[in-house]
Amino acid sequence: MKNKKVYDPEVELAKGAKLDAAAYDKTQKAAVIAGKVTVGGKPGIVEIAGIATGHIPEAGIEGTVDLWLSIFRYMRPDGTIDHVGGWNIPQALKPKQTPIETAKAFAGYINAGTRPYKAKAAGNKTKATVTIVFVNK
């Protein structure tokens, strides 16, 4: 689909997915540090802290941490519009799961997916981050 607008790299490279996080665990928490994953390479970052209480199957979402990347559109240099779908990424936590284990689980899931994102986990047993970047395929 061609668009009659002129491609402005500064505007288009600043577009991206809004990153959000929620922790439904009693003791492990997640907070968004950088809330937008841009086409131009600005990463979204989530910080995870605390040892997990863990997921109880009968309790629904209790004991989980979820990340969300919103849908968005951007124009390519050739004038075509690219639509990027949103993504809900839940992780059920194990009892005593550390922040770095949770971060690595998110990074592994994101990197194994077919969506245009890659992730990296960093940190330790008390605090960790998941850094997510947009990658054009």
Higher pLDDT, 4 or 20: 20
Question: Does position 5 have pLDDT exceeding 90, yes or no?
Answer: no
Residues in the chain: 137
State the greatest distance between any 2 C-alpha atoms of the chain, in Å, as a whole number. 55
Average pLDDT over residues 112-134: 97
Mean pLDDT of the chain: 94
Whether the model clears a pTM of 0.85, i.e. scores above it, the answer is: yes
Q: Which of 57-61, 64-68, 76-80 has the lowest mean pLDDT?
A: 57-61
- What is the predicted pLDDT for the residue at 44? 98
Average pLDDT over residues 58-69: 91
Q: Could you tell me what percent of the chain has a pLDDT over 90? A: 89
Q: What is the DSSP letter of 14?
A: T
Most confidently predicted of 3-12, 26-35, 59-68: 26-35
pLDDT confidence band for 57 (50 / 70 / 90) = confident
Give the pair of three-digit tokens for residue 120.
């990296």
Rounded to whole angstroms, how far apart are CA atoms 125 and 118?
22
Question: Does position 135 have pLDDT exceeding 60, yes or no?
Answer: yes
Q: Could you tell me what percent of the chain has a pLDDT over 70? A: 96
* All residues at 6 or more sequence positions from 57 whose CB lies less than 8 Å from its CB, including other chains: none
